[in-house]
Amino acid sequence: MRLVQLRVPADDREPVLDALDEHGVDFVDTPEADGDATLVHFPLPTEAVESVVDAVHEAGLNDDDYVVVASAETARSPRFDELEEEYVNGSGEEDAITEAELRSKTLNLTPSRLVYYAMTLLSVLVATAGLVLDAPSVVVGAMVISPQVGASLTAAVGATIDDRPMLRDGIRMQVYALAGSVLAAAAFGWALRNAGFVPPVLDISTVDQISTRTSPGLLTLLVGLCAGAAGGFSLASDVPESLVGVAVAVALVPAAAASGIGVAWGYTGVAVGAGVLLLVNAVSINAAAVGVLWYLGYRPWSDHAGPVRDLARAARSRRFLVAATVTAVLVLAPGLLIADHVAFENEANDAVEATLEEPRYQELELVSTHVEFVSGTSESESFMVVVARPAGEPYPELADRLRDAVRERTGETPTVEVEFVDRNRSG
């Protein structure tokens, strides 16, 4: 709910009040002592603000006249219930807040630079510790304290309404924060390793909390897209952004920490795989948020003629072409790597399943598979297969057999590692 205050010049008083009355708004107007203007106050559902404010501007109120939109707890007036019924239950652009409120709300999401970078550093240190310890609860705690949602949505709003300072600040803060997170995680991981807090011979690629973030795929990409879309919807409504902040942190903080850990341990596959995942998620969060804001009706221009004409108008500007080119490169380059990786992983999984269905392997059960992302080429990827076997039964040739099956199916020759889990059954 919002409380709107207007300072209406005396010459525009009648048409403005008539416009409010036509929209079913109950208002209170207080003339100034000198009679030059009147102050008008009225409560509105959040979803009605944009429509009503546009109406009073069309009635004669200038864009630079005094307008304040503040939050309100409750309101009671003769026709307020009818406004709630009309706008709260509406759809489309009527559900969105005004562009000015959107901008103000976004800027309030991001704390001061010192607090933002300090909280980012603390969150990635906690995440690094949680990943090395393989402790999911610690990793979740890191996501809760991460402030990344503010910078992501600042860039998205700046791109949507063509506010270049917001766009520039949002992108710069994300780049500095995420790059710094990787470096901080690498330094912290190096210190943990060399100080003896964790075994120097620890194979981090076998730690579940790390390995799940080193193999980018469609499901991990979906996390970033959903987080960005949720951020766009929450920003344009009354949904708390703190809830979306956790989702944004899920897509960014653990990946940054995992990439830094890979650097500290010298594991190229972990560092590159998590780094690609971090980049793709960061771009997808921003792109999804921009897409949702466009869907809700926000545009860089006031003379809206529909999204198709708006897009055509934007395409004629040099700035749009540069931004579109950079975005395409940031999305397509890692996207092609992920597509190749996912295709190889699917083919390899099919080859493993077909091999284990052979009569000589009927006692084996497939537990899991994992393809380590290294450089986007399957030749350099490591394929981990975990199978359950009867206790004491050796299968020394299984790794070579699986490698041959994968090579026959995909045309590539990755390194295949097989981990056996002994199984005992009663009776």
Query: Model confidence over 151-176: pLDDT tens digits?
Result: 999 999 998 888 888 989 999 999 99
Can you give the CATH number for the domain in which 390 is found? 3.30.70.1350
Q: What is the pLDDT of residue 129?
A: 94
Amino acid of residue 3: L
Amino acid of residue 124: V
Among 184, 179, 204, which Cα is nearest to 124's?
A: 184
Q: Is 306 left (phi over 0), alpha (psi -120 to 50) or beta?
A: left
pLDDT tens digits, 233-261: 988 876 677 778 888 999 999 999 999 99
Instruction: Check whether residue 232 and residue 359 sit in a common domain.
Output: no
Residue ranges making up the domain that contains 29 = 2-95
Instruction: Check whether residue 80 and residue 179 sit in a common domain.
Output: no
Could you say which DSSP state residue 297 is in? T
Instruction: Check whether residue 251 and residue 204 sit in a common domain.
Output: yes
Tell me what percent of the residues of the chain surpass a pLDDT of 90.
25
Residue 37 lies in a domain: yes
Domain boundary among 60, 95, 130: 95
Tell me what percent of the residues of the chain surpass a pLDDT of 70.
86
- Report how far Cα 427 is from the mean position of its chain's Cα atoms: 51
Contact 82, 222 (CB under 8 A): no
Contact 46, 238 (CB under 8 A): yes
Which token pair is 21?
Answer: 């009355």
Instruction: Check whether residue 284 and residue 208 sit in a common domain.
Output: yes
Which token pair is 311?
Answer: 């897009």
Q: What is the pLDDT of residue 302?
A: 44
Residue 88 lies in a domain: yes
Mean pLDDT of the chain: 83
Instruction: Check whether residue 39 and residue 173 sit in a common domain.
Output: no
Instruction: Check whether residue 349 and residue 407 sit in a common domain.
Output: yes
Mean pLDDT of 175-184: 95
For the chain, the distance separating the N- and C-terminal CA atoms, rounded to the nearest angstrom, is 67
Pairwise CA distance, residues 264 & 61, whole Å: 61
Is the pLDDT at 314 greater than 60? The verdict is no
Among 72, 71, 75, 93, which Cα is nearest to 84's?
A: 75
- Run of H or E including 383: strand 382-390
Is the pLDDT at 98 greater than 80? The verdict is no
Residue 160 lies in a domain: yes
Pairwise CA distance, residues 149 & 166, whole Å: 14
Among 222, 99, 215, 212, which Cα is nearest to 160's?
A: 99
Instruction: Check whether residue 38 and residue 129 sit in a common domain.
Output: no
Q: Report how many domains make up the chain.
A: 3
Residue with tokens 């077909």: 354
